[in-house]
Chains A and B, each alone.
Chain A
Amino acid sequence: MEYVIEMLNIRKVFGNFVANDNITLQVKKGEIHALLGENGAGKSTLMNVLFGLYQPDGGEIRVKGQKVNITDPNVANDLGIGMVHQHFMLVDTFTVTENIILGSEPTKGGTIDIKRAEREVRELSERYGLAVDPTAKIADISVGMQQRVEILKTLYRGADILIFDEPTAVLTPQEIHELIQIMKKLVKEGKSIILITHKLKEIMEVCDRVTVIRRGKGIATLNVSETNPNELAALMVGREVQFKTEKKPAQPGKPVLEIKDLVVKDARGVTTVNHLDLTVHAGEIVGIAGVDGNGQTELIEALTGLIKAESGTILLNGRDITNLPPRKIIEAGVGHIPQDRHKHGLVLDFPIGENMALQTYYKRPYSKRGILNFKAIYEKARQLIAEFDVRTPDEYTKARALSGGNQQKAIIGREVDRNPDLLIAVQPTRGLDVGAIEFIHKRLIEQRDQGKAVLLVSFELDEVMNVSDRIAVIYEGKIVAIVDPKETTEQELGLLMAGSKRKEAGVSS
């Protein structure tokens, strides 16, 4: 009995759309098996079939050699299959423990035995090195810890086949590193893992074998040791992909954004941006590197007028925009690609075309004397959809129905088209496949080359190193170092982000 999981010729159809077209996936016991594919290739669908959330329209599933019929997640649980979903399945208002025990609660006389549950969670977390605070509320903990809670959920149920659907998309480099260690530990315990990720580096680092799918079809299954990132990318996208985005040297011009001595408090009143100074010039991309929670969110919100700065000034082209209302700041020439595209970027129930006019709807030609000109709005939308390769049936389709990558492209199109002097991009490629990432990076560089200032905030060191002309390291609300990406290493950046002082390059602005 070689395979713990065999998904043979799995077919899944949504309406007229074939999401999984006779895909076969075989996972060996004790291996980490990567599942690779573009956005929308059908990876999550396949895994949801395995986990019992979807019923396949064809094919068969075998677990440890037995043919099984996984009608719902309960069956999957019983078969020892656990899944860490792409979008976290955690109840925000519950504690870590409550989330973990949900559905199989230990009881004592009809009451949940919370003490016992917490003890069990603690033991489990110690055993696998998954540090969590069992009594903390999900809403209060970091994304990395949330991820660990997800893993603990599966382990708590005794799963020995674990599915990780894009676990690293939302993690910081440190957290990714920790996760990799955890996965290695889990396989050592005899568990098998299916890992979905867009990051080829991760596949190369931890996986034993990889199955590539494209547009719902299985393309190949390879031994990781016998392949390389370029081959994988080509298999997955169907063409050659450039990882290192080509770019000319920057030609910085006059300062566009000048932040001086900025202090911002978060919603709880804690000072998270602490006397921060930073300048971004025309024609350069400044990347902000830092561990999540070091003031990035508040910095961006203050820059865009969503929260008030306590003190300090923000100048745009020499003009003071500190604490102006968002619209004034937008009109002054700031574009913003927000971190959470669903919450902040789009009105999901509006057509994608109208979403593209979300900031300009009140201006000519989209609006005349208070009346909207839908012709102009949709004309513009069509142009942007074509220009930014947004894949959508038409411009009248609700934004909700687009895939994440395409939603992101629409937002970028919208922001870039307004021709802002400063473009703030926060995690612009989160969760996107290599093809889409390439596209977006090109666009950012294009902006720079047109003489715009770009401020990039990302937890992906790769991205920051690749795209930025200068990297500003943020730590505890301050810019602690400015480094040149060509002259630094990931290790050095990692140390700076962790707060260790750099000797040569002192704090500059």
Chain B
Amino acid sequence: MSIYEVLQIIVPSAIFFAAPLIFTALGGVFSERSGVVNIGLEGLMIIGAFVSVVFNLTFADQFGAFTPWLALLAAMIVGAVFSLLHAVASVSFRADQVVSGVAINFLALGLTLFLVKKMYGKGQTDQIQVGFDKIDVPVLSHIPVIGPLFFSNAYIPSYLAIILAFVAWYIIYKTPFGLRLRAVGEHPMAADTMGINVTKMRYIAVMISGALGGIGGGVYATIISRDFSHATISGHGFMALAAMIFGKWHPIGAMGAALFFGLAQSLSIVGQTIPFLKNVPTVYLLIAPYVLTILALAGFIGRAEAPKSLGTPYIKGKR
């Protein structure tokens, strides 16, 4: 295999692998930029996966090819609503945000499996029949070299994820909303004295994270697992959390980190087929993505600065 052929395998699979992580990590960026730790990303993905699959199974006949899109919409809405729990607990009730996030994870898993049992009388759903199609992007996929790498055999949601990262960057760094969001996460009291409603901003941010986490889970379920069970989302939310921190709480950084994970993952898969790696025991390839991440962090990425007031509830009048 030539390097180019290898790339042709690695790159598309890295991108689809990364897509759910990108959505979810972007959600994390919004929440944490506003100062609310969101360790509940895993739970939000679970909710999204569940909703999108149930929606898909229920309405595929009515909506046909639109089903997966509407399912993502549903996952987004339910994810946002579900994340309200985290917002209420950690913003209004001044709960420890880590605790509340852990509760979100427990609740999401328990509730969705409970509902699956209730609705279908079994521990997992059937397979959905209408998913997203693999496409070759018109025109772009014909660009020599780049086309086959980046614009062939891909899913639209993957591109949406990447586009969304740039949109998020724009929102966070270029709009009044973003400025206020960051201010609330860095110095809520300063924001308060400037007439910004800290509570409202944090609610919005947490709900955005719920919406994006929901989409992330939905994309995962729709493109990858195609059904929902206890094992559908297993650690992906934590990987998204890692991507967010790896990306230094920056949307583009988070996207880059998620793509890095995807790349490392598919490298380790393709590695098994590269002749001179053939005799390397499988375990080295299995751990390669994680080791690579650690090396990258230790080697050249360096320290990350979290938003200053991350994790502290804002209490008016308290220094």
Q: Judge A-B direct contact (beta carbons within 8 Å).
A: yes
Residue numbers of A with Cβ under 8 A of B are 48, 51, 53-54, 72-74, 77, 83, 85, 87, 89-94, 98-99, 101-105, 107, 110-112, 153
Shortest CB-to-CB span from A10 to chain B, Å, is 16
Distance, CA A73 to CA B195, complexed state (A):
5
Shortest CB-to-CB span from A327 to chain B, Å, is 25
Distance, CA A203 to CA B254, complexed state (A):
53
Task: Please tell me if the beta carbons of B190 and A72 are within 8 angstroms of each other in the complex.
Answer: no
Task: Please tell me if the beta carbons of A103 and B194 are within 8 angstroms of each other in the complex.
Answer: yes
> B186's closest neighbor in chain A, by CB?
A91
Task: Please tell me if the beta carbons of A92 and B194 are within 8 angstroms of each other in the complex.
Answer: no
* Interface SS of chain B: helix
Q: Which residues of A contact B308 (CB under 8 A)?
A: 92-93
Q: Which residues of B contact A102 (CB under 8 A)?
A: 179-180, 183, 190-191, 194, 196
Say yes or no: A112-B174 contact (C-beta < 8 A), given A53-B192, A53-B193, A73-B195. yes
Q: Which of B295-319 contact A (CB under 8 A)?
A: 308, 316-317, 319
> B196's closest neighbor in chain A, by CB?
A103
Task: Please tell me if the beta carbons of B190 and A89 are within 8 angstroms of each other in the complex.
Answer: yes
Determine whether B236 belongs to the interface, using a CB cutoff of 8 Å to chain A: no
Distance, CA A73 to CA B317, complexed state (A):
12
Say yes or no: A73-B175 contact (C-beta < 8 A), given A53-B316, A91-B186. no
Distance, CA A48 to CA B189, complexed state (A):
12
Task: Please tell me if the beta carbons of A91 and B175 are within 8 angstroms of each other in the complex.
Answer: no
Q: Which residues of A contact B182 (CB under 8 A)?
A: 91, 93-94
Q: Which residues of A contact B175 (CB under 8 A)?
A: 107, 110-112
Q: Which residues of B contact A90 (CB under 8 A)?
A: 187, 190
Task: Please tell me if the beta carbons of A94 and B183 are within 8 angstroms of each other in the complex.
Answer: yes
> Which of A54, A87, A103, A107 gathers the greatest number of chain B CB atoms within 10 Å?
A103
Q: What would be 24 A-B contacts, judged by CB atoms less than 8 Å apart?
A: A53-B317, A72-B195, A73-B193, A73-B195, A85-B193, A89-B189, A89-B190, A89-B193, A89-B194, A91-B186, A92-B308, A93-B186, A98-B179, A101-B179, A102-B179, A102-B191, A102-B196, A103-B195, A105-B179, A110-B175, A111-B175, A112-B174, A112-B176, A112-B179
Q: Which residues of B contact A92 (CB under 8 A)?
A: 186-187, 308
Shortest CB-to-CB span from B50 to chain A, Å, is 34
Distance, CA A74 to CA B191, complexed state (A):
11
Distance, CA A112 to CA B183, complexed state (A):
15
> Which of B170, B190, B308, B316 gathers the greatest number of chain A CB atoms within 10 Å?
B190
Task: Please tell me if the beta carbons of B193 and A51 are within 8 angstroms of each other in the complex.
Answer: yes
Task: Please tell me if the beta carbons of B191 and A111 are within 8 angstroms of each other in the complex.
Answer: no
Q: Which residues of B contact A110 (CB under 8 A)?
A: 175
> A48's closest neighbor in chain B, by CB?
B317
Distance, CA A89 to CA B186, complexed state (A):
11
> B308's closest neighbor in chain A, by CB?
A92
Q: Which of B127-179 contact A (CB under 8 A)?
A: 170, 174-176, 179
Q: Report the 4 A-B pairs with minimum CB-CB distance, sorted nearest first.
A: A103-B194, A89-B190, A74-B195, A105-B176
Q: Which residues of B contact A104 (CB under 8 A)?
A: 194-195
Shortest CB-to-CB span from B317 to chain A, Å, is 6
Distance, CA A85 to CA B189, complexed state (A):
11
> B190's closest neighbor in chain A, by CB?
A89
Task: Please tell me if the beta carbons of A91 and B193 are within 8 angstroms of each other in the complex.
Answer: no
Say yes or no: A77-B195 contact (C-beta < 8 A), given A48-B317, A53-B316, A87-B319. yes
Distance, CA A47 to CA B193, complexed state (A):
12
Task: Please tell me if the beta carbons of A83 and B317 are within 8 angstroms of each other in the complex.
Answer: no
Shortest CB-to-CB span from A143 to chain B, Å, is 16
Shortest CB-to-CB span from B316 to chain A, Å, is 7
Shortest CB-to-CB span from A444 to chain B, Å, is 28
Q: Which residues of A contact B193 (CB under 8 A)?
A: 51, 53, 73, 83, 85, 89
Shortest CB-to-CB span from A20 to chain B, Å, is 13
Distance, CA A153 to CA B319, complexed state (A):
21
Q: Which residues of B contact A101 (CB under 8 A)?
A: 179
Distance, CA A30 to CA B299, complexed state (A):
60
Task: Please tell me if the beta carbons of B187 and A73 are within 8 angstroms of each other in the complex.
Answer: no
Question: Besides the contacts A48-B317, A91-B186, A91-B187, what 11 more A-B pairs have beta carbons closer than 8 Å?
Answer: A72-B195, A73-B193, A85-B193, A91-B190, A94-B182, A94-B186, A102-B180, A102-B196, A111-B174, A112-B176, A153-B194
Query: Among the listed A54, A73, A107, A112, which residue makes an inter-chain contact with B194, where contact means beta carbons less than 8 Å apart?
Result: A73
Distance, CA A112 to CA B317, complexed state (A):
29
Distance, CA A53 to CA B193, complexed state (A):
7
